[in-house]
Structure 1
Amino acid sequence: MDLSTPNRENLEYMINYLADNLQVVNRGLMAPEDYDLQYYDQIKEMYDMVQMKGQLSVSEIQAVVSELGKFRKPVE
């Protein structure tokens, strides 16, 4: 999959990958539709880091989940 192009499908793929690899129990916190394409590059950086690193410590998982929370669309 070519993730170099910012589009909805790629964003959804990365969010789902991160949710799986970060072992997020409450998947509602990482619903792909809650993330805006304007943050594509930042989310891609986190995706690349998690993919490259493989195994993350508990504190690293918490940090990534916290950082991803900053890119969620505001609740209306």
Structure 2
Amino acid sequence: MDLSNPTTDNLHFMINQLAEQLQVVNRGLMDPEDYDMDQYDNIKEVYDMVQMKGQLSVSEIQAVVGELGKFRKQV
């Protein structure tokens, strides 16, 4: 999958993969519909970092989830 193209499908894929890898119990926090395409590049950076790092500590997981929270659509 070519994630260099900012598409809705790619965004949804990355968010779902991150939720799986970070073992997010409350999937409502990681609903792909809650993320804006304007934040695609930022989300991709987080996704790439998690992919490179592989195993994350609990504090790193919390930091990543917190960072992703910044990219959610403002209601």
Q: TM-score, normalised by structure 2?
A: 0.98
Tell me which stretches of 4 or more aligned residues in structure 1 moved more than 2 Å.
none
In structure 1, what residue type is equivalent to 2:44? Answer: K
Q: Distance in 2 between matches of 1:29 and 1:56?
A: 19
Corresponding position: 1:17 with 2:17: yes
- Residues 2-59 of structure 1 deviation map (CA, whole Å, 9 limit, x = unaligned): 0000010000000000000000000011000000000000000000000111000001
- How many correspondences in the alignment? 75
Q: Distance in 2 between matches of 1:37 and 1:14?
A: 12
Corresponding position: 1:44 with 2:65: no
Report the aligned-residue RMSD.
0.5
Which residue is equivalent to 1:71? 71
- Structure 2: stretches of 5+ with no match in the other structure: none
Q: Distance in 2 between matches of 1:74 and 1:24?
A: 21
Q: Distance in 2 between matches of 1:36 and 1:14?
A: 13
In structure 2, what residue type is equivalent to 1:27? Answer: R
In structure 1, what residue type is equivalent to 2:23? Answer: Q
Q: TM-score, normalised by structure 1?
A: 0.97
- Percentage identity across aligned positions? 77
For the residue of structure 2 that corresponds to 1:60, the secondary structure is helix
In structure 1, what residue type is equivalent to 2:34? Answer: D
